[in-house]
Amino acid sequence: MDLGFSKSEKLLVESASGFLTKEATGIFRDTERSEAGYSERLWHKMAQLGWMGILFPEQYGGMDGNFLELILLLEEMGKALVPGPFISTIIGGCGIMRYGTERQKEDILPKLTAGRQVIIPCFIAPEPAAGAAKMKDQVSLREGQYLLSATRLFIPYAESADGFLFETRTQAGKTLFLISSKTPGIICRPFETLAADKQCEVVLDRVSVPPTNIVGSEGQGAAIKNEIELWGALCESAYILGLLEKVLEMAVNHAKIREQFGRPIGTFQAIQHQCADMVSDIDKLKFLTYQAAWKLSENIPAGREIHMAKARASDASRRVTLLGIKIHGGVGITQEYDLQFYFRRAKAAETAFGDGDFHREFVARSLGL
Amino acid sequence: MDFKFTAQEERFRQEVQEFFLQEEKDVSAAREEWDSGQGFGPHSWAIIRKIGSKGWLCPTWPKKYGGLELSFIYRYIIMEQMHRFLNWFSTVGAGMAGPVILNRGSQEQKENYLPRIAGGEIEFALGYTEPDAGSDMASLIIDADDKGDHFIISGSKLFNTRAHFAQYYWLGARTAETKPAHRGISLFIVDLKSPGINVSPIWTVGGRRTNAVYFDNVRVPREALVGEKNRGFYYIMEAVDFERISTVGGLERDFDELLAYVKAHRLGQNPLTRQKLAELAIEIESAKLLALKAAWMLDRRRLPNYEAAMLKMVVSEMEQDFVYTAMQIIGPCAQVKRGSEWAPSNGKYEWRYRDSLEELVTRGTSEIMRNIIAQRGLKLPRA
């Protein structure tokens, strides 16, 4: 049992933190107004540090690292509120690494680890309102090619994607496809969302995909998709963890210097107790997240632990950011101050890969209910 | 990072668990005694002595004082099983008085008390709280008058829970009028049979006995003073972080029982019930990790002070969530007292609803814990 960082983990965290402080402080403010929604310059620097390759074998230009190292990076990225398709690309790439053909891996992974390939899982299908017509995926096989028509929603940074992972039902069952974003018939329409995080509607209109682009076997798609989404939930938990740690830091610093009634507001128990609740929420989330990542790194089944972590992360994201806003008072709700970016981004992260209710249901199943 | 026990630790965990399973008769009788609210009865003393004779009450202590010189993770492993089987996981002697005697006591005190504490032969009543000194412990006023070769103690204590079955008192008393008040407190080991001590019962809403204790010119020899005079508060603070180390062994057992009840009565299809049980499972798991972290920190010679406060707060508040949720899920029958055929789990929830309140306020309320977390953990300024 060792609940502290190893030397190499400590080094990783320190270097990531130093790098992001230098290169990414306040970056979310500029990228929010940019077309891509994230900084490609920062993206390439992260790639140079090997971050894109952290999970991948050396033969594909990766670092041969593990999930624990990945989530430590993501925690630091959450603190800096780094925008971009990092989580999507890592979990998508990881799906290809585990289940893809050798050719798919050689096509995608070296570029991915070099920062020249953005892979986006494209999984959320629209749920029609009661009474409305259900939009069904259209799948046909013509001259040895699949023709796919479908709509997917809330796909982050879809406009920047080089490839999509798309799951639908073929005759053999649910199947996962790797689709190049250059394929004719793909339309991406970004939503204007709360966190301005470039979530898109992706429409496939008779998109032609060869069977060689199937990832895994036909009929295996749902299982692979579930696994990718679990990794996503864990990654998002780590990002939320960092995000909340930064919010706490801002709140505590503010409480120490802001004076009212002739003394720092941090001397008031009302404020102290809110800060204590924030750090308790964060510490609980921290070790749930670390434990889940450690299990994945050790190849121990971690589904239940990931569901626990994301349920906790999703609920804590709201509680902690809200307390952060309250402690800051007026300045906390101004556009000029950074906190509102964290508050809005926390909501997007809460929803991504399932909210608290969603993940608690899976915890309930793991209890045999 | 590494979240698993070593093979050796895992073997030890199994050994401890097997011990409690083998001692099933004494163990369940001891738990019955404890849950009745009377404190330690004959079965409790029997099982404590057995635990003590294995060196498991104070496993981190030096061997010459009855310990095993093991790391704190072993203490955690034992505490977790004790919590699960007995509903308590340490004694005041092993958890609070002992560590101070070990660090600050005289050689004579060490030799006299430590082996008997570690062996499970004696227990201490914790004597900090007074009618006007609760959360503000430093304002205690019970008077210890220095007469040279002895002290004369006069005054009263409140909520000293073990005073009716312990042999000794671990007493904080005022030896100087100082400002700030905490600089005039000393610690004493007082024989509870000393003439002039009058123990009077107070019953909690949970049916548990605690006491008001009156000291009428009680003569205490100078050798009973622990460490230096007027340094007692500092010694108490040193030890208090050990006291707040806890486990969720008891809650895990209770949760398993509730889960079995839900399954047996086919209540598990209700989405609200599923959500609530899942949330409890997540809470318990996260608290367990905090408990492990505290043990791990002690093994690294880092004192978990804000972490211990957080753990105490989290576990005691979670216990409230547990009984509240259990009663919601079970429905109106959960309010029926034991003895009725309509009382699920023999009235356990009716009782736990009352009895669990004690954990919220004993050893520092949640609000005091939040003060500690904010001031020591986050370095927020004091008023």
Partners of A165 in the β-ladder: A121, A178
Within-domain flag for B362: yes
pLDDT in tens, A74-93: 999 999 999 999 999 999 99
Q: Which residues of B touch A273 (CB under 8 A)?
A: 367, 370-371, 374
Q: Which two tokens stand for residue A65?
A: 């690292």
Tens digit of each residue's pLDDT, chain B (383 residues): 999 999 999 999 999 999 999 999 999 999 999 999 999 999 999 999 999 999 999 999 999 999 999 999 999 999 999 999 999 999 999 999 999 999 999 999 999 999 999 999 999 999 999 999 999 999 999 999 999 999 999 999 999 999 999 999 999 999 999 999 999 999 999 999 999 999 999 999 999 999 999 999 999 999 999 999 999 999 988 877 666 678 999 999 999 999 999 999 999 999 999 999 999 999 999 999 999 999 999 888 888 889 999 999 999 999 999 999 999 999 999 999 999 999 999 999 999 999 999 999 998 899 999 999 999 999 999 98
Give the C-alpha separation, A278 to A282, whole Å: 6
Q: Which residues of B touch A312 (CB under 8 A)?
A: 282, 286
Gyration radius from chain B CA atoms: 21
CATH of the domain at B197: 2.40.110.10
- Find residues 170-229 of chain A whose CB sits inside 8 Å of chain B: none
Q: Within 13 Å, how many C-alpha atoms sit on residue A266's CB side?
A: 24
CB-based contact B344:B350 (threshold 8 Å): no
* Ramachandran angles phi, psi of B57, nearest 5°: -75, -35
Taking chain A, what is the end-to-end CA distance rounded to the nearest angstrom?
31
pLDDT at B309: 92
Within-domain flag for B110: no
Measured from the Cβ of residue B266, the count of other Cβ atoms closer than 10 Å reads 8
CATH class of A222-366: mainly alpha
Longest dimension (CA), chain A: 80
Residues of A70-103 as b/e, b for ≥16 C-beta within 10 angstroms?
bbbbbbbbbbbbbbbbbbbbbbbbbbbbebbeee
In 3D space, the residue among B187, B204, B153 whose CA is nearest the CA of residue B35 turns out to be B204
| Helix (H/G/I), strand (E/B), else coil: B101 | helix
Task: Please name the residue of chain A whose CA is at the shortest distance from the CA of residue B310.
Answer: A280
Q: Which amino acid is at A61?
A: G
Residues of A334-347 as b/e, b for ≥16 C-beta within 10 angstroms?
eeeebbbbbbbbbb
- Find residues 65-104 of chain A whose CB sits inside 8 Å of chain B: 68
CB-based contact A346:A240 (threshold 8 Å): yes
pLDDT in tens, A256-309: 999 999 999 999 999 999 999 999 999 999 999 999 999 999 999 999 999 999
CATH of the domain at B320: 1.20.140.10
Q: Which amino acid is at A246?
A: K
Within-domain flag for B95: no
Compute the nearest-CA separation of B287 from chain A (Å): 7
pLDDT at A363: 98
Compute the nearest-CA separation of A327 from chain B (Å): 13
| Helix (H/G/I), strand (E/B), else coil: A263 | strand
pLDDT at A128: 76
Residue B331 contacts by C-beta under 8 Å, 6 or more apart in sequence?
A: none
- By residue range, what is the domain housing residue B201? 125-230
pLDDT at A129: 75
Topology adopted by domain A122-218: Butyryl-CoA Dehydrogenase, subunit A; domain 2 (2.40.110)
Q: Would you mind telling me the total number of residues written for chain B in this entry?
A: 383
Query: Are B328 and B363 in the same domain?
Result: yes
pLDDT in tens, A213-223: 999 999 999 99
pLDDT at B371: 96
Angle at which helix A67-80 crosses helix A86-99, to 10 degrees, equals 160
- Structural domains counted in chain B: 3
Q: Which residues of B touch A263 (CB under 8 A)?
A: 383
Give the C-alpha separation, B70 to B1, whole Å: 21
> Omega before B180 cis (within 30°)?
yes
Residue B381, chain A, CB below 8 Å: the answer is yes
How much is the mean pLDDT over chain A? 96
Topology adopted by domain A7-118: Butyryl-Coa Dehydrogenase, subunit A; domain 1 (1.10.540)
Residue A255, chain B, CB below 8 Å: the answer is yes
pLDDT in tens, A110-134: 999 999 999 999 999 998 777 777 7
Q: Which two tokens stand for residue B307?
A: 């972490």
Query: Are B195 and B283 in the same domain?
Result: no
- Find residues 297-336 of chain B whose CB sits inside 8 Å of chain A: 300, 307, 310, 313-314
Partners of A149 in the β-ladder: A138
Name the residue with tokens 């409140």. B158
Q: Is B279's CB within 8 Å of A311's CB?
A: yes
CATH of the domain at B41: 1.10.540.10
Number of A/B CB contacts below 8 angstroms equals 147
Q: Which two tokens stand for residue B272?
A: 């609200």
Query: Are B313 and B364 in the same domain?
Result: yes
Last residue in a domain, options B186, B204, B230: B230
CB-based contact A283:B310 (threshold 8 Å): yes
Is residue A146 exposed (0-12), middle (13-18) or buried (19+ Cβ within 10 Å)?
Answer: buried
Last residue in a domain, options B202, B230, B258: B230
CB-based contact A119:A160 (threshold 8 Å): no
Query: Are B78 and B143 in the same domain?
Result: no
Compute the nearest-CA separation of A208 from chain B (Å): 42
Which sequence spans correspond to the domains of chain A?
A: 7-118, 122-218, 222-366
CB-based contact A324:A281 (threshold 8 Å): no
Give the C-alpha separation, B38 to B16, whole Å: 26
Q: Which two tokens stand for residue A208?
A: 């032609």
Query: Are B256 and B361 in the same domain?
Result: yes
Query: Are B253 and B133 in the same domain?
Result: no
Query: Are B199 and B259 in the same domain?
Result: no
Over residues A223-244, the mean pLDDT reads 98
Last residue in a domain, options B201, B230, B259: B230
Residue B77, chain A, CB below 8 Å: the answer is no
Query: Are B226 and B316 in the same domain?
Result: no
pLDDT at B243: 67
Residues of chain A with pLDDT > 90: what percent? 96
Within-domain flag for B264: yes
Q: Which residues of A touch B300 (CB under 8 A)?
A: 4
Q: Within 13 Å, how many C-alpha atoms sit on residue A167's CB side?
A: 24
| Residue B227, Ramachandran bin (φ over 0: left; ψ between -120 and 50: alpha; else beta) | left
Q: Is B381's CB within 8 Å of A287's CB?
A: no
Sign of CA dihedral A260, A264, A268, A272: positive
Within-domain flag for B169: yes
Strands A214-215 and B225-226: unpaired
Query: Are B295 and B339 in the same domain?
Result: yes
